[in-house]
């Protein structure tokens, strides 16, 4: 018997440093509460664990997603380049996506970030369902992935070998 999506997601999250895992768990719970009818799409890819909150099962209908790496957690706005951002909190310069770094779930409640989430919901091509509960879908799990934990820092006075020199040994 296969694991439930929630158990699978917990396994994905558990591979990160405890501090990163705490932030992603809290942010996931906060977004689930804020967007209860959204379809939660999960991609455990090479670069990131991505947990998207979408209006339909199509990824292009994603409103926001949590992008998790060894470096931390970000709130990614799929159509962020089109959002009003008078406070200038969005990062990124691509044609479509923008993001906000999340130090904790409290960042989601900051007025500028909350306004961005509301704007993203309002501009969704397909509106969120007004009733019912959202579902969780595991869309993709990559066999190869970047390390989910930051590399340990070398002890004082030690030089850490580069990946290239380590590969030659």
Query: pLDDT tens digits, the chain, 169 residues: what are they?
Result: 477 888 888 988 998 899 999 999 999 999 999 999 999 999 888 788 999 999 998 888 999 999 999 899 999 999 999 999 999 999 999 899 999 999 999 999 999 999 999 999 999 999 999 888 888 887 665 566 555 566 666 666 666 555 544 444 4
- Which pLDDT does position 1 carry in this prediction? 46
On whether the CB atoms of residues 7 and 107 are closer than 8 A, the answer is no
Angstrom CA distances, 137 to 27, 43, 84, 147, stand at 18, 9, 30, 23
Could you give the number of structural domains in the chain?
1
- Which pLDDT does position 166 carry in this prediction? 47
- The crossing angle, in degrees rounded to 10, of helices 18-34 and 5-14 is 150
Residue 12's domain spans which residues? 5-168
């Amino acid at each position: 018997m296969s694991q439930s999506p929630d158990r699978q997601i917990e396994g994905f999250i558990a591979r990160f440093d405890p501090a990163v895992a705490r932030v992603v768990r809290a942010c996931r719970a906060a977004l689930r509460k804020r967007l209860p009818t959204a379809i939660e799409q999960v991609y455990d890819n090479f670069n990131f664990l991505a947990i998207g909150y979408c209006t339909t099962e199509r990824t292009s209908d994603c409103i926001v997603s949590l992008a998790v790496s060894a470096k931390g957690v970000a709130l990614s706005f799929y159509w962020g380049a089109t959002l009003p951002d008078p406070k200038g909190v969005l990062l990124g310069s691509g044609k479509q996506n923008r993001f906000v770094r999340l130090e904790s779930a409290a960042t989601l409640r900051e007025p500028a970030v909350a306004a961005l989430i509301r704007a993203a919901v309002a501009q969704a091509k397909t509106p969120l369902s007004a009733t019912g509960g959202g579902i969780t879908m595991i869309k993709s799990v990559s066999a190869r992935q970047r390390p989910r934990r930051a590399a340990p820092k070398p002890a004082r006075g030690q030089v850490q070998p580069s990946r290239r020199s380590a590969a030659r040994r």
